[in-house]
C-alpha cells in the first residue's frame, strides 16, 4: 500500500511517500480501508519531534473508511461497515489499524471527507460551544484564529445557533475565508489589548462579547479579557 512516512524528525521535507505492507489487525483492532483522512496541526508536532515517538512511523490519526478486516474479539463490527476514528495508527495510508472501541459508524448520508475533516476539530468545537459556554441566540462572541479548523467550525455552528461572530485573522485571504464561514466582522490580531478591546466594544454597542474562544494564547489573552 502507499503511505506517508516519517523516518526522521523535521519539517515537511522529511515526509516520504513510501510503499508499506498492509498491516494486520490484532486482538480488539480493525483494519480500515481509507476513503478520507483528517489533517491536524498535532501531526506537525509528531513530525517535528515536539511530541516524541518511535521512528519510522506513518503519520496521522483520523480516518473515515470501510472495515476491511477484523482482529480477534471484535464482536460489534463487521467487514464492510463504514466507520470513522480519531485514534488510527498511521492514517496517512491506504489502510490503517484502529482500536475497535474507538471507531464509530458513519451514516451513508454523510460524505467521508466531511467526517474526516471534522473529527478532532469538530469535537473541540462541540465541547467549546456546548460545555464551556453554551452559545445562545443573539449572543455576540469572539473567535480568535477564525480561519483555522476549529475557528471555521465554531463560526458556522454559532451562526447556525443564531449568534453573531466576530473573528480575528492574520491575512486578507484568511479574513475572507472567515467571512465566508459567517463572521460578521473580522479584525486583525491585537497589537494593543486596550485598542482591541475598545474596537470590540464599539462593535457591540459597549456591551462586549458573551464569550471569547481563544485558541491563540499569550499574544491575545489580554485583548480577550478586554473584549
Q: Which pLDDT value is given to residue 44? A: 95
Nearest in space to 157 (alpha carbons), one of 172, 185, 176, 137: 137
Q: Which pLDDT value is given to residue 194? A: 79
Nearest in space to 120 (alpha carbons), one of 79, 199, 63: 63
Domain 2-110, CATH: 3.90.180.10
182 phi-psi bin (left φ>0, alpha ψ -120 to 50, beta other): left
Q: Give the bridge partners for 166, in sequence order.
A: 142, 185
Cα 87 from Cα 119, distance rounded (Å): 10
- Cα angle, residue 158 at apex, residues 152 and 163 outer, rounded to 5°: 130
Q: Cβ distance 39 to 118 under 8 Å?
A: no
Q: Which pLDDT value is given to residue 132? A: 95
- Equal CATH topology for 2-110 and 120-225: no
On the question of a cis peptide bond just before residue 56, with omega within 30 degrees of 0, the verdict is yes
Q: Residue 96 — φ and ψ, nearest 5°?
A: -150, 165
Nearest in space to 190 (alpha carbons), one of 220, 217, 215: 220
Residue ranges of the domains in the chain?
2-110, 120-225
Topology at the third CATH level for domain 120-225: Rossmann fold (3.40.50)
Instruction: Read off the pLDDT of residues 121-179 as tens digits, 9 standing for 90 and up.
Output: 999 999 999 999 999 999 999 999 999 999 999 999 999 999 999 999 999 999 999 99
Is pLDDT larger for residue 58 or for residue 200? Answer: 58
Three-state SS string over 13-54 comes to HHEEEEECCCCCCCCCEEEEEEEEEECCCHHHHHHHCCCCCC
Mean pLDDT across 189-198? 81
Write the DSSP symbol of residue 132: I
Nearest in space to 6 (alpha carbons), one of 41, 38, 64, 53: 53
Is pLDDT larger for residue 34 or for residue 120? Answer: 34
Amino acid at each position: 500500500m502507499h503511505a506517508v512516512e516519517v523516518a526522521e524528525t523535521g519539517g515537511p521535507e522529511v515526509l516520504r511517500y513510501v510503499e508499506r505492507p498492509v498491516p494486520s489487525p490484532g486482538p480488539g483492532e480493525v483494519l480500515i480501508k481509507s476513503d478520507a483522512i483528517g489533517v491536524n496541526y498535532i501531526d506537525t508536532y509528531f513530525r517535528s519531534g515536539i511530541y516524541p515517538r518511535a521512528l519510522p512511523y506513518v503519520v496521522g490519526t483520523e480516518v473515515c473508511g470501510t472495515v476491511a478486516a477484523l482482529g480477534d474479539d471484535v464482536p460489534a463490527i463487521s467487514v464492510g461497515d463504514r466507520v470513522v476514528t480519531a485514534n488510527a495508527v498511521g492514517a496517512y495510508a491506504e489502510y490503517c489499524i484502529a482500536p475497535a472501541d474507538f471507531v464509530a459508524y458513519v451514516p451513508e448520508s454523510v460524505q467521508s471527507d466531511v467526517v474526516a475533516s471534522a473529527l478532532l476539530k469538530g469535537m473541540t468545537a462541540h465541547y467549546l460551544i456546548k460545555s464551556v459556554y453554551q452559545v445562545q441566540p443573539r449572543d455576540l462572541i469572539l473567535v480568535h484564529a477564525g480561519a483555522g479548523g476549529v475557528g471555521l467550525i465554531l463560526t458556522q455552528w454559532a451562526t447556525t445557533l443564531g449568534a453573531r461572530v466576530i473573528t480575528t485573522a492574520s491575512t486578507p485571504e484568511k479574513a475572507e475565508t472567515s467571512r465566508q464561514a459567517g463572521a460578521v466582522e473580522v479584525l486583525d490580531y491585537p497589537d494593543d489589548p486596550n485598542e482591541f478591546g475598545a474596537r470590540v466594544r464599539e462593535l457591540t454597542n459597549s456591551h462586549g462579547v458573551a464569550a471569547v474562544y481563544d485558541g491563540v494564547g499569550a499574544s491575545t489573552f489580554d485583548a480577550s479579557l478586554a473584549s
